[in-house]
Amino acid sequence: MNNILVTGANGQLGSEFREFEQAYPVYNFYFKGSKELDITNHIAVNNFVKSTNISVIINCAAYTAVDKAESDIELSSKLNHFAVENLAKIAKVRSIKLIHISTDYVFNGTNHIPYTESDNTNPQSVYGNTKLGGEQAMQKIAPTNSIIIRTSWVYSSFGKNFVKTMLRLASEKKELGVIVDQVGTPTYARDLAKAILNIIPKLENKDIEVYHFSNIGVCSWYDFAKAIFTYKEIDIKVNAIETSQYPTVAKRPFYSVLNKNRIEKKFQIEIPNWRDSLKECLQKL
């Protein structure tokens, strides 16, 4: 049996893995949040994976407060960079598969065609820089049968995310302004979790491989919001605004579309369209 450690277990993606626990009896899951296991503590993590005979680590843990990270560089680096380095060292020594979740923020967001895994990285924020640091540390240590999956615009029926924020605001306001000049693809965390569980038995690589995963299709945040309200039959006026009208502390990528060809072909997975997955999530909500 595969004993799987899921870090960041209380976040959106970690919570989705819990939902699949009964559907995948071949896996024995250990779910750990930050208060239960400090993934920056080498001794604590090493002792845990040894005592439970962990064979796979899925690292969903991250510092994801993009704006706050600009002033909280130390904690962002600790969770997004050094924790990944720690997990990679343990995975290397103990021959554990490590699947690390990264982000589209490692790019500068100026492309006009979907980003491939081989495109040059150039993060524009502390969050992006620290996530790239984690990727580079893992690639340098290179535990076998381990991969990095970059994703974007993650949402779920769990935790805080754009979908739930829009539904909350719609209950409070009659009119909203949503950014129209940032383009990407939403990712339903449930789809990503399912893909990872199907990928695990197929992992066989010496050097770290990088893959992209989001749902299929392209939209702006404005399009995303409009779809949410349409599917929920919510009558609200949505105004398209530009990024300049809604300044944030951290710089956001204008273009975050990821090319998924590599992960689809390598692991023979089918990725749903973002609209279909949004409908599924909204039904759960």
Q: Tens of pLDDT along 163-195?
A: 999 999 999 999 999 999 999 999 999 999 999
Cβ-defined contacts of 16-22 (< 8 Å, 24+): 16/156, 16/158, 16/189, 16/190, 16/192, 16/193, 17/58, 17/60, 17/193, 17/197, 19/190, 19/193, 20/193, 20/194, 20/197
pLDDT digits (tens, 9 = 90+) for 204-242: 999 999 999 999 999 999 999 999 999 999 999 999 999
Compute the mean pLDDT over every residue in the chain, rounded to the nearest whole number.
97
pLDDT at 1: 59
How confident is residue 62, by pLDDT bands cut at 50, 70 and 90?
very high
Residue 84 has pLDDT above 90, yes or no: yes
* Mean pLDDT to the nearest integer, 53-63: 98
**Which residue of the set 127, 155, 188, 222 is catalytic?**
127
What pTM, to 2 d.p., does this model score?
0.97
pLDDT at 166: 98
* Mean pLDDT to the nearest integer, 60-86: 97
Contact 33, 8 (CB under 8 A): yes
What are the structural domains, with CATH classification, of the chain? 2-160+186-216+256-272 (3.40.50.720)
Q: Any catalytic annotation for residue 24?
A: no
- 154: phi then psi, degrees, rounded to nearest 5: -75, 135
* Mean pLDDT to the nearest integer, 47-58: 98
How confident is residue 98, by pLDDT bands cut at 50, 70 and 90?
very high
H, E, C per residue of the chain = CEEEEEECCCCHHHHHHHHCCCCCCCEEEEEECCCCCCCCCHHHHHHHHHHCCCCEEEECCCCCCHHHHCCCHHHHHHHHHHHHHHHHHHHHHHCCEEEEEEEHHHCCCCCCCCECCCCCCCCCCHHHHHHHHHHHHHHHHCCCCCEEEEECCEECCCCCCHHHHHHHHHHHCCEEEEECCCEECCEEHHHHHHHHHHHHHHCCCCCCEEEECCCECCEEHHHHHHHHHHHCCCCCEEEEECHHHCCCCCCCCCECCECCHHHHHHHCCCCCEHHHHHHHHHHHC
139 forms bridges with which residues in the sheet? none
pLDDT digits (tens, 9 = 90+) for 102-160: 999 999 999 999 999 999 999 999 999 999 999 999 999 999 999 999 999 999 999 99
Q: pLDDT > 70: what percent of the chain?
A: 100
pLDDT at 69: 97
pLDDT digits (tens, 9 = 90+) for 268-280: 999 999 999 999 9
